[in-house]
Amino acid sequence: MKSVHQFLVALTVLQVFLFFFLIFLIFRDAFYSFSAKDLAAESFLVVGVDSGGNSSDAVGGRTDYISIVYFRNSGGLVLKSIPRDTVVTYRSEKRKINSLYNSFGIEALIEEVEKLTGRTITGSVVVDFNTVTEITTFTGPIRVEVTTPMHHDDFQQGLHIHFEPGIYFLEGEDLLKFLRYRSSDSGDLGRIDRQKRVLEQLIRNLVSAGPSKMIEMIDFVLEKTDISIDKKTLTDFAVAFFTGKRSVSFTQIDYYIDDEGQIVPTGPGSDEPKAVEIESKSPKILVINNIPDYEERFGDFAETIKSQWLAQAGVKVDATGFVPNISGIEKRDTYLFINSKDSEIRELFSKAHVYHRPFVMLTSSFGGLDYYYALIDSLSKNRFYPAKYDAYVLLGVGGR
């Protein structure tokens, strides 16, 4: 009789549990939506600094990565990047946003980020890239794909990066090298894309590892970074992500690249990534630098030019910051060598470089062949082997 009584009690408890579990399933979306709304007012600034090499005494370091993290009203997480070379006006002086943290402190950076994004920053975390070497302790190796050779040696910083094309599973120092690499052809925006891909994989690995690893990582972040966010808020954020949609949108602020190659912000940008439609049969174009002091004054040539053509003309181009020396070609002038698709090339060029008046040479009509072959030869001698292009742009300054 006693065993029957115990069985009935257990059955009653199980029924009560199932009832409340059913209520939870019915109302969980509303609960998570409510939780997300509570967190919707939170926006965290994430700053990545590169103290460089093996120096443990470096203070501050270059600000290499700037983004904000917040929840959309629909519950998904947004990670919005701000290119580090974005030009802002601070204290009546134009400067790149990545100079603010070292020169004026985190509050100055927060002030400008709030203006750019239209969101109130409620907390910040500053991470030295060397900390990345320990993050894979929680996530395991990160799968990355290298599509072009990555080679760079900086003996001053003790930095040596060498990756051939292929699939890699990176952790520790090797992952740090992958993140720090800045090529002459993709520069800052290319590095942002690599960071995005690594973050996506980090999140996937963390989700697979489960909540316990996330809690361990929160403790790690609190210990190893300069952070103004308390553990409860971080934990709430993690719980909301794991129990919600588990989706992350990687976006950027809106900007354009002016004729001097500067990144000029135009708005906070969307919470959803924008798909750029590019015609599959677009002309193949190589843009070559013809301004000797361009990179000293404005930064990476290839990065800014490729972004400019994509934003203003809607096509992808190849670009190099190498400045060729060709007899008869004046530095700072613009030359357009057209092999094919004459009218289309001219139209695209006029969209990408509104204020440029190039010297146009139609190689198909034997125009400027001496200069054209001298250009190809100069590129080849400097280990840049151009494939077949519809046009070569030797880009100088606007106007003529």
Condensed to tens digits (0 to 9), the pLDDT of residues 43-102 reads 999 998 876 544 333 345 678 889 999 988 777 888 898 988 899 999 999 999 999 999
pLDDT tens by residue, 363-386: 877 778 888 888 888 887 776 666
Residue 208, C-beta contacts closer than 8 angstroms, at least 6 positions apart: none
Q: Decide if pLDDT at 139 tops 60.
A: yes
- Mean pLDDT over 171-187 rounds to 73
Q: State the amino acid at position 152 in one-letter form.
A: H
Which residues does residue 256 pair with via DSSP β-bridges, in sequence order? 264
pLDDT tens by residue, 251-264: 889 988 777 778 88
Q: Which is it for strands 226-227 and 123-128: parallel, antiparallel or unpaired?
A: antiparallel
pLDDT confidence of residue 194: 77
Strand, helix or coil at 279?
Answer: coil
- Mean pLDDT over 34-38 rounds to 48
pLDDT confidence of residue 70: 92
What's the rounded Cα separation, in Å, for the pair 316 and 194? 18
pLDDT confidence of residue 109: 95
- Mean pLDDT over 191-218 rounds to 74
- pLDDT: which is higher, 103 or 40: 103
Strand, helix or coil at 135?
Answer: helix
Q: Decide if pLDDT at 21 tops 80.
A: no
pLDDT tens by residue, 332-354: 999 999 988 888 999 999 989 88
- pLDDT: which is higher, 173 or 244: 173
pLDDT confidence of residue 18: 47
- Mean pLDDT over 100-119 rounds to 94
- pLDDT: which is higher, 108 or 52: 108
pLDDT confidence of residue 289: 92
Residue 305, C-beta contacts closer than 8 angstroms, at least 6 positions apart: 257, 261, 287, 317, 319, 395
Strand, helix or coil at 395?
Answer: strand
Mean pLDDT, the chain, whole residue set: 78
Q: How confident is the model at residue 34 (pLDDT cuts 50, 70, 90)?
A: very low
Q: What one-character-per-residue DSSP string does 192-215 give?
A: HHHHHHHHHHHHHHHHHH-HHHHH
Residue 190, C-beta contacts closer than 8 angstroms, at least 6 positions apart: 182, 183, 303
Q: Decide if pLDDT at 277 tops 50.
A: no
Residue 154, C-beta contacts closer than 8 angstroms, at least 6 positions apart: 53, 160
pLDDT confidence of residue 118: 94
- What CATH number does domain 43-128+184-267 carry, 3.40.605.10, 3.40.630.190, 3.30.110.40, 3.30.390.10? 3.40.630.190
Number of neighbours of residue 202 by Cβ within 10 angstroms: 19
Q: Decide if pLDDT at 38 tops 70.
A: no
- Confirm if 391 and 309 have CB atoms less than 8 A apart: no
Q: Which among 78, 53, 49, 83 is positioned nearest to 226, based on CA atoms?
A: 49
What's the rounded Cα separation, in Å, for the pair 306 and 185? 9
pLDDT confidence of residue 85: 86
Q: How confident is the model at residue 29 (pLDDT cuts 50, 70, 90)?
A: very low
Q: Decide if pLDDT at 394 tops 90.
A: yes
Q: Decide if pLDDT at 280 tops 50.
A: no
pLDDT tens by residue, 161-172: 888 888 888 888
Q: Is 230 exposed, middle or buried (0-12, 13-18, 19+ CB in 10 A)?
A: exposed
Q: Decide if pLDDT at 395 tops 70.
A: yes
Decide: pTM greater than 0.75.
no
- Confirm if 189 and 319 have CB atoms less than 8 A apart: no
- pLDDT: which is higher, 324 or 145: 324
Q: In what side-by-side order are the strands of the sheet with 43-50?
A: 226-227, 123-128, 43-50, 62-71, 77-81, 248-252
Whole-number CA gyration radius for the chain:
26
- Confirm if 162 and 150 have CB atoms less than 8 A apart: yes
Q: Which among 303, 395, 311, 302 is positioned nearest to 357, based on CA atoms?
A: 395
What's the rounded Cα separation, in Å, for the pair 47 and 67? 7
- Confirm if 125 and 225 have CB atoms less than 8 A apart: yes
Q: What one-character-per-residue DSSP string does 324-381 give?
A: ---TTPPTT--EEEESS-HHHHHHHHHHH-TT--PEEEEGGGTTTHHHHHHHHHHHHH
Where in the chain are the domains? 43-128+184-267, 285-395
Q: Decide if pLDDT at 110 tops 70.
A: yes
101, HSE (Cβ side, Cα atoms, 13 Å): 25
pLDDT confidence of residue 33: 44
- pLDDT: which is higher, 386 or 297: 297
What's the rounded Cα separation, in Å, for the pair 123 and 228? 5
